[in-house]
Amino acid sequence: MDSMYKTSIHVTRSLSDCGLSATNVSEQDMVMKKGPWTEDEDTLLMNYVSVHGEGHWNSVARCSGLKRNGKSCRLRWLNYLRPNVRHGNITLQEQLLILDLHSRWGNRWSKIAEQLPGRTDNEIKNYWRTRVVKQAKQLKCDVNSKQFRDTLRFVWIPRLIERIQSSSGTAIPNNNSYGQRQTAIKAHSETCGTTNPLMLSEVSSYSSEVDVLLPHSLSESNVSYDLMDSAELGSTWQEWNCYDIQPFEQSNGFGGSELWTDENLYFLQQQLADL
């Protein structure tokens, strides 16, 4: 197993920064290790960084005794060993923040990660790909499509807000789209005599697979919209498309590319800081 992760390189650069001569090392045919890090390697890296500080990752790789390249050392430190790195489930607040920030910045993972203390760009990227993109696939739509963005905006995010509020007993400032959404759905329903099933607020259960969000069944119509079942979704998407959300949301203040106001973003960041 290990052998498949190994590759040979010659180290010919100057090694004066760690007291080794180039000659000494170039004589060694250094075998650089790849793959999962061991406890011993973690200890070596932590000890080295605690003495010399972060940065100069190629020097770390050369001087710490690790048979890893600089990039690998940097990644291991940033994603795992660095103090205050948080592991484990992404919280509801964090999910909400990720959805909002992604709507603003797109796949700028490192920029998004800056707003989530202790989380790494890699973790957020993985969350997005394994949860959000997965949901888009099950809905048979592109993750960047308007349909999916509407699903996020009108179903996923409101459910997150509700769950955050019910779990914390704290009200998120009321100038977000959710309160407007409730009024808008009501008005839309009265105008059109129908309601987009995704926009219904009476949701009786949740998917067990993901923390949030999509309605399992809709008690009003006794019709099951199991959103984890892509076979059903294929046809319902076409039906949902007949609801023209765009002019509707513009007329009700839903326009614009961002899901949240800066005030709400600040509120969320405060909540995260309190965790």
Q: How far is the CB of 132 from DNA (least distance, A)?
A: 10
Segment contacting DNA by CB under 7 A, of 5-13, 140-148, 153-161, 196-204: 5-13
Name the nearest CA neighbour of 164 among 78, 274, 38.
Answer: 274
Q: How far is the CB of 219 from DNA (least distance, A)?
A: 25
130 is an interface residue for DNA by CB under 7 A:
yes
Q: How far is the CB of 126 from DNA (least distance, A)?
A: 4
CB atoms within 10 A of CB 24: 11
Q: Are 200 and 220 in contact (CB under 8 A)?
A: yes
115 is an interface residue for DNA by CB under 7 A:
no
Using CA atoms, how far apart are residues 46 and 251, in angstroms rounded to an integer? 56
CB atoms within 10 A of CB 214: 23
26 is an interface residue for DNA by CB under 7 A:
no
Using CA atoms, how far apart are residues 110 and 112, in angstroms rounded to an integer? 5
Q: Tell which one of 1, 51, 231, 242 touches DNA (CB under 7 A).
A: 1
Using CA atoms, how far apart are residues 241 and 223, in angstroms rounded to an integer? 19
Q: Tell which one of 44, 45, 76, 264 touches DNA (CB under 7 A).
A: 76
**Could you tell me which residues come within 8 angstroms of residue 95 by beta carbon, excluding any fewer than 6 positions away?**
127, 160, 211, 212
The interface with DNA within residues 165-184 (CB under 7 A) comprises none
Q: How far is the CB of 113 from DNA (least distance, A)?
A: 8
Q: Tell which one of 21, 43, 47, 110 touches DNA (CB under 7 A).
A: 110
Q: Are 118 and 177 in contact (CB under 8 A)?
A: no
140 is an interface residue for DNA by CB under 7 A:
no
Segment contacting DNA by CB under 7 A, of 121-129, 166-174, 194-202, 234-242: 121-129
Instruction: Mark 55-74 with x for binding to DNA (rule: CB under 7 A) and - for no binding.
Output: xxxxx--------x-xxx-x
Cβ-in-10-Å burial (0-12, 13-18, 19+) of 55 comes to exposed
Q: Are 156 and 213 in contact (CB under 8 A)?
A: yes
3-class DSSP assignment, residue 74: helix
Residues that bind DNA (CB under 7 A): 1, 4-5, 7, 13, 33-37, 55-59, 68, 70-72, 74-76, 79-80, 87, 107-111, 121-123, 125-127, 129-131, 134, 209
